[in-house]
Amino acid sequence: MNRGQWLKARREELKHANPNNASAYSLRGVAEAIGCTHAALGHLERTDGMPTLDLALKLAKIYGRSPEWVLTGKDASSEHGIPIVGTTLTGPSDVFLKDGVQNAADQQFVDVPNNVARRLYAVRIADSRGAPAFQAGDLIIADSDVRPITGETHLVKLRRDDNFIAIMTLITDMGDSFVFNSLKELNNREVFRYDEIEYLHPIVAMAKAWTVKKI
């Protein structure tokens, strides 16, 4: 796979993962965001041409990847495992969600293989009372690029003043809102409108505390 192919594949991946904002990841939408013509971006996707450093930095930011990945197709941070970017009280940082891992040398990782094609992250379970199935100190691994999955457990953050973050099971998608089951009270269902939700990331795995490493 050459540079143009992995850049196009990432753009298409983000477009399908964000159906409510798919136009932002169209060829024209990305070109406008990074300040070039859609013809120039299209040429880059069809060839193995080297973008300028300025363009690589802008693509890295919008694609949630490192500049190294844009230029080489490899991301050193993914080689170390899955980055730990917060707790279940804080969720992943805004910096990570926008720009990915900035300095792998200062980062802790879950010591399992990571696929650069997916933006997996881990958060440490701070308090198991909110989710009795999990143990404090262990980690949940979530995928910020995958669309919500009915019947699966998600890390949910709402856009409100109390910084609401919870681990919840998605019951159904009602078209303008989601219905969840609380893991703390299994018969307690809550409904949140799409515009109330800052992010909703499927949990794909758990990891024990002893799998953590620092490079």
Residue 113: what residue type?
P
- What does pTM read for this prediction? 0.64
CATH number of 77-214: 2.10.109.10
pLDDT of 201 reads 94
Model confidence pLDDT, tens digit, residues 36-80: 999 999 999 998 888 888 888 889 888 887 777 888 877 655 567
Element (H, E) at 204: strand 197-207
Are the CB atoms for 155 and 167 separated by under 8 Å?
yes
Of residues 129 and 57, more confidently modeled: 57
Stated length of the chain:
215
Query: What is the domain class of 3-74 according to CATH?
Result: mainly alpha
Residue-range domain boundaries for the chain: 3-74, 77-214
User: What are the C-alpha distances in Å from 179 to residues 41, 128, 185?
Assistant: 39, 22, 14
Q: 189 pairs with which residues across the strands?
A: 181
